[in-house]
Amino acid sequence: MPAKPTNDTGSGKAAAKKCPTCGKPASGPTLPFCSPRCRDVDLNRWLSGSYVIPGKDDEEDAE
């Protein structure tokens, strides 16, 4: 028999995950977001370049 999943609270209830966009409890088919709107806001941030991973400039590599 597989082991039952455990949680950190010890209360027997799983803690609700928070939406990374607005902080409301996330659930349903839009996980990890709380709604399609928050999912779309996050996608727009990725597509517009708001989320950027820092790196070296291309000019430094050419030298």
Spatial distance between the Cα atoms of 24 and 30, rounded to a whole number of angstroms:
13
Spatial distance between the Cα atoms of 10 and 12, rounded to a whole number of angstroms:
6
Q: Is residue 61 in some structural domain?
A: no
Spatial distance between the Cα atoms of 6 and 14, rounded to a whole number of angstroms:
8
Q: How confident is the model at residue 5 (pLDDT cuts 50, 70, 90)?
A: low
What is the average pLDDT value for the chain, to the nearest integer? 79
Give mean pLDDT, residues 12-24. 81
Whether the full predicted model's pTM is greater than 0.85, yes or no, is no
Q: Is residue 4 in some structural domain?
A: no
Domain count for the chain, please give it. 1
**Domain with 33 in it:** 17-50
Helix (H) or strand (E) holding 39: helix 36-48
> Side chain identity at 44, as an amino acid letter?
N
